[in-house]
Structure 1
Amino acid sequence: MDKINLLVVVTIISLFISLFLVFFLFTVKTKHKISNALFALFLLITAIDISEPLVNLLANGPSNLGMLRTTFAFLQIPVLYLYVLSVCYADFKLKPKYILHLLPFLIGNIILLPRFYTVDAAAKINFIINRKSMIELPLNHTLFHIQVVVYFTAIFMLLRKAKKLYLENYAGSSINSYKWLFQFTSVLTSFYLIVILKNVFKFSNYPHISEWIKIGILVFELFIICWYLYKALNNPGLFRNIDSKLKLVSDLILEEKNGEQLAVTEKEYHQDLLKLKQYMAEEKPFLNPSLTIQDVSKDLKVPVRDLSLLINHKLEQHFYDFVNSYRIERAMDILKDVTKSKVTILEILYEVGFNSKSSFNTAFKKHTGNTPTSYRKGLQNSNL
């Protein structure tokens, strides 16, 4: 099979899977329609971008539509950024200001207006033949490379902040979804770095290397799409719990230092701490797998801001770890109870407020240094 046929076959398979996932995202019943629509749009733009081998077979020469197809790449990462934003925050809504994300796409096409879009077919052919000496294409590639760096930096910063907010305000199992989304973003970052490498060779003295990298990109993209399809089917809920109005504890501390908020006295913190410990021991709110700092604040009648500073700053524990420590202590009591030796680890983790085995194992090992199974075996051996 020659290179052209291989490109066409891989392209057809990638397009089929991409469009299938687009159909799935648009038709699946979910309350997270905006997120699904944004990712479907990302896949659709990606499908347009990877369709080049098929377009080249059908086209008689360079055209405005063909060039417009290549500039659609400018829309991929902005849409991906908005998708990640929508997945991280429960109150995400599309806003007029997001239109600004179209700027790279518009600039890329405006640059091409004088010497490509507005000229005849012969001039278009000459433009493509002499593309190395035409400033427009290298300029667009440079703009795209800058966009890749800026947006992926913004996405990783967004994920980092979202994870911190989650740990400081929530105690559910959705933290595992952050790990997956971080992995997915990391894989896509690697993918776009390879795309940049391909573009560098495209305008070098070794354009044939660019063509072989293009085949590798299509195969890699096929793998990414299949992987995402698998994850999407197995994790339809992902995580969408964070309120974007929440502030990081570091920002709250800065506000106190700047006198923007009245600082809580040490005496008040001590009183709130005693109230919190009594509440955790008597009411056992940690048994609720989706407990949030807002729930605790409401029950204790302590402002969320003060409670967040108390736990995340004064106790030097994330709310997530603070709640899990009570869950693990409860799990340890069950494991020590000889009358409950037949209770499975899975039953215990659900009973104490976890709803994910991986989260339970991670938290248990962090708290005790052992896995739940090892801890139980150690107790059994010591009783012999």
Structure 2
Amino acid sequence: MNVKIDLLIIVTVVSLFISLFLAFFLFSVKTKHKTSNYLFAAFLILCAIDTSQTLFNLIIDKPSNFGMLRGLFAFLQIPVFYLYVLSVCYSDFKLKPKHLLHLLPFVIANAILIPRFYAVDDTSKINFIKGYQKMIEIQFNHILIHVQLIVYIIAVFMVLRKAKKLYLENCAGTSISSYNWLFQFTVVLTILYSGALLKNIFKFSDYPYISEWIKIGLLVFQLLIVCWYLFKALNNPGLFRSIDSKLKLVSDIVLEEKNKEQLAVSEKEYNEELLKLQHYMVEEKPFLNPSLTIQDVSATIEIPVRDLSLLINHKLEQHFYDFVNTYRIEEAMEILKDTTKSKMTVLEILYEVGFNSKSSFNTAFKKHTGDTPTVYRKSA
């Protein structure tokens, strides 16, 4: 038993130190993404408060209002993470009064405990905690937090799915890997919270000791997650290139146009716009700009963003991201075939044609040609 307690204390202390260090880093670092940093710092602090239970119990060995409140801060974790995801996906995200609604589960969880816990004496608190498995308030809060978790996790994945699709339809930078990374991070958090759900199931079963061992495993896992994020944050301070939340998916635009019976565009007009776009891409080579957006192209060739988006994403059945990368790959292929440029490395070429990520370049090149850049150069 002492070994388990010692292990819990060590892991808790290390996890708290790293979480609070990263939170301090996010609060203090100078960046234009302050809201995102502050929200993730708040998420880390809430996780640290939850993690601190073992140390808290060593200091205060009896039930208290402060101790109960500390535990119920867990209701704020996933809502804050959801707001963080919104803030990194959308450049125009701002915290508004309506976001206070996310506090509702936390308020409800505390309110139902007022009559039989917060407002009673210490002896009644002790009896309440001793019989926690039969207390309707505790059971309700456990159900509430798990329902909340499921709803918010689904909401986060929906936000990421839509944001990624909007990015593909409107941008041609290489930041798409950032959305993939945030998706992976959310999956890892889902696994962590699923483990917490399993822990709580055993906590209310006839085998509560299993819950304690799962708790140790979750603390170690959480520590690894925090270290992973710390590594990512330090190496990629400008991780995301956000998009405007006012942008609409092409599928939604098409539906609106159909409902208004305005989708029909003459073949002549379609061909004229397509030729204008293709001529611009070939002659001006805007794709060499690694941060090119559909708005940039629209402003130059004087085709409204809405029409240009429909032309590329609906008529050509390509995302703007893939459309632009096709021109980048064609340009890279010309360089690879040019014997006078044989001394240029693949890394130099990918930067030359508008990519700024080797992995995204290799993926796009193989998708377009079926070969890696190196193999293509040898066979050209």
* Aligned residue number for residue 14 of structure 2: 13
Q: Deviations over 1:351-378 (max 9, x none)?
A: 1111111111111011011111111122
Q: Which residue of 2 aligns with 1:244?
A: 245
Range with bigger deviation, 125-134 or 233-242: 233-242
In the TM superposition, what are the counterparts of 1:24-39 in structure 2 within 5 Å?
24-39=25-40
Q: Which residue of 1 aligns with 2:363?
A: 362
Instruction: Indicate if the aligned counterparts of 1:264 and 1:306 stay in contact, CA closer than 8 A.
Output: no
Confirm whether residue 89 of structure 1 aligns to residue 90 of structure 2. yes
Paired residues of 1:14 and 1:222 also in contact (CA < 8 A) = yes
CA contact (8 A) 2:27 2:38 kept: yes
**Aligned residue-pair number:** 379
TM-score normalised according to structure 2 size: 0.98
- 1:382 is matched with none
Q: Map Cα deviations across residues 44-64 of structure 1 (whole Å, 9 max, x no partner).
A: 011000100000000030000
Amino acid at match of 2:215: K
Q: What is the Cα deviation at residue 269 of structure 1?
A: 1.6
Paired AA for residue 75 in structure 2: F
Question: How far apart are 1:68 and its partner, in Å?
Answer: 0.3
Conserved 8 A contact 2:347-2:358: yes
Moved over 4 A (4+): 260-263
Alignment of 1:300 onto 2:301: yes
Q: Secondary structure at the match of 1:2?
A: helix
Q: Encode CA deviations 1:85-121: one digit per residue, 9 max, x unaligned.
A: 0000111111111000000100110111111000100
Distance verdict in 2 for CA 1:247–1:261, change over 3 Å: farther
Residue in structure 1 matched with residue 234 of structure 2 by the alignment: 233
Query: After the TM superposition, which residues 125-274 of structure 1 pair with which residues of structure 2 at under 5 Å, given as runs?
Result: 125-259=126-260, 263-274=264-275
**Aligned to 2:48, what secondary structure does the other structure show?**
helix
Matches within 5 A, 1:16-95: 16-95=17-96
Distance 2:223 2:240 in 1: 25
Partner of 1:316, secondary structure, is coil
Shift of 1:42: 0.2
- CA separation in 2, counterparts of 1:260 and 1:34? 41
The answer for unaligned runs of 5 or more in structure 1 is 380-384
- What do you get for the CA RMSD once the two structures are aligned? 1.0
**Aligned residue number for residue 277 of structure 1:** 278
Structure 1 counterpart of 2:351 = 350
What is the identity, as a one-letter code, of the residue corresponding to 2:58?
Answer: L
SS at match of 2:271: helix
- Kindly provide the amino acid, as one letter, of the partner of residue 32 in structure 2: K
Give the 3 Å change call, closer, same or farther, for CA 261–116 of structure 1 in structure 2. farther
Q: CA deviation at 1:297?
A: 0.4
**What residue ranges of structure 2 are gaps of 5+ in the alignment?**
none
Give aligned-pair identity as a percent: 74
Amino acid of the residue matched to residue 283 of structure 2?
A: E
